[in-house]
Structure 1
């Protein structure tokens, strides 16, 4: 079962191509600083602009470099069910612990369509699935009744959810409808504190890319029910959580990483652009507030 601080890793680019060396260093740095699992090829990893060959190489490198020290939850989402299944089959063969599967975007499937999509994945690949609900990006909302139906239908396959709906009541909805064994992970850094208090077990995080030790310490405090300490750490991280979205993600976090490490660039792929001057100023101030520069 997953818990703690789990970074949704950026995909480093240099000269327009995947910077494998920098990515390997990033994986090591994350593990050395307390990250409890890793997510390559999620939203923050710019999966939507990677070819399938690039996508699979990023997943493969992450698993190779982690070398069993922490589990890897491979991004496997797609708005094409068959392509999502392709990612899942590859990730299972490569040694991933689970696949992070976003609700299909752009197509706008109904709840019945969502059940059919995730059922097809669960029935055709044995890789455990972490559902990913982020209606602000996908338009489609994976509603609690649908999550409960899927978890009950496939208890050994659909084991967790990353919820970025912004609706904290869903933590209790899922817990009461499915049970405490179902793993709930916040998908919003700024809501991780109340989500953990309600029963979540950690966060798949953007901020942890640049502040892995602080995020890991925050999650450990929550796990120990030391919410006084957790609030102190949350206050330290809070401006950074918002600065990560001052411009289209992951441009701000890539800029932040380029400030912390000279072996990482702030390159993103079109249609994204590097962070604006306003976003850079917000990131600079937040990094200083967190004591990272």
Structure 2
């Protein structure tokens, strides 16, 4: 059962959604999801201490699953988690009817929300997109985090964002346009009980200082390995208002951030997709002790030379 009613979803989110909600890779064996390895990873994610898990999207290769496998994936995660951490799904469907079906299914499994991309095909005008989300939120009780990204084919405009933020169960936006200025403008312009998250650990300390509260839908806390303790340290110092001390800790992560940019962020910018970057991220995660395996076909794995470079860099950076 959800912890909130529709009318108080935003107030609930302001209290609940803090810290690092992570989008992890998924283990693959022989071209299919590896259920045993997935169970192992979820336990390991919980042990690491992430604040929430966001699954079903690009990084997890769930865009490449059959519908039955998508449902099975969520059922396994819910079965392992057993209420020990918040669970959110990611909805990438252009069909609002399929999106609603998925959301209603995972609500029964104990998921509390869904990150939802605007429909990638057909609907392009502000009115069309608003009507799509209005229809969706009228028929699902889950909290919704909008996904504002050029990967969708249309970045949600500021006027449309104001309209969407007024929908009862729309509680947040993952501001994935990679523009810091737009993040700050949205936070300034939108209603104050609506969360705007910049999905980048590199600016999270600054975000904490200027009104942010959550680093949503990325991989840093998992990917940083042994260096994630530096995140814990700067967050603790920030909570005490010791901003300069927090910054001195934060800058120690700059080499890791640079590597994450090389492996993931700039590859997404270059290709406008996640597909080409996930294979490299999986090598990184496996070097940290998570289960990763190959890629779901037809996406190719990285070359042996590239994989060796990533493993060596992970070790050089002191992440293992």
TM-score between the two structures when normalised by the length of structure 1: 0.87
Of 287, 303, 306, which residue of structure 2 is paired with 1:259?
A: 287
Name the structure 2 match of 1:141.
155
Q: Residues 118 and 266 of structure 1: is their aligned pair in 2 closer, same or farther, counting only changes over 3 Å? A: same
Distance 2:60 2:86 in 1: 17
- What secondary structure does 1:43 align onto? coil
Matched, 1:205 2:225: no
Name the structure 1 match of 2:302.
275
Q: Residues 178 and 265 of structure 1: is their aligned pair in 2 closer, same or farther, counting only changes over 3 Å? A: closer
Q: Residues 216 and 72 of structure 1: is their aligned pair in 2 closer, same or farther, counting only changes over 3 Å? A: farther
Of 219, 233, 243, which residue of structure 1 is paired with 2:263?
A: 243
- Computing the radius of gyration from Cα coordinates, the structure with the larger value is 2
Matched, 1:182 2:194: yes
- What secondary structure does 1:165 align onto? coil
Tell me if structure 2 keeps the 8 A contact 1:185–1:200: yes
Tell me if structure 1 keeps the 8 A contact 2:83–2:110: no
Distance 1:64 1:181 in 2: 32
Tell me if structure 2 keeps the 8 A contact 1:73–1:97: yes
Q: Residues 46 and 196 of structure 1: is their aligned pair in 2 closer, same or farther, counting only changes over 3 Å? A: farther
Name the structure 1 match of 2:270.
none
Matched, 1:54 2:54: no
Tell me if structure 2 keeps the 8 A contact 1:30–1:212: no
Matched, 1:227 2:227: no
1:49-198 equivalences under 5 Å are: 49-107=64-122, 109-135=124-150, 137-152=151-166, 154-155=167-168, 157-192=169-204, 194-198=206-210
Q: Residues 120 and 250 of structure 1: is their aligned pair in 2 closer, same or farther, counting only changes over 3 Å? A: same
- What secondary structure does 2:52 align onto? coil
Q: Residues 99 and 216 of structure 1: is their aligned pair in 2 closer, same or farther, counting only changes over 3 Å? A: farther
Q: 1:250: Cα distance to partner?
A: 1.2
Q: Residues 288 and 44 of structure 1: is their aligned pair in 2 closer, same or farther, counting only changes over 3 Å? A: same
Distance 1:92 1:111 in 2: 28
Matched, 1:38 2:16: no
Task: Give unpaired runs (5+ residues) of structure 1.
Answer: none
Distance 1:220 1:96 in 2: 30
Q: Residues 74 and 213 of structure 1: is their aligned pair in 2 closer, same or farther, counting only changes over 3 Å? A: farther
Q: How big is each residue's C-alpha offset from its partner over 1:10-43, in whole Å with a ceiling of 9 and x where there is no partner?
A: 2211122221121111112112112100011111
Matched, 1:290 2:317: yes
Distance 2:104 2:113 in 1: 11
Tell me if structure 2 keeps the 8 A contact 1:12–1:265: yes
Q: 1:195: Cα distance to partner?
A: 4.6
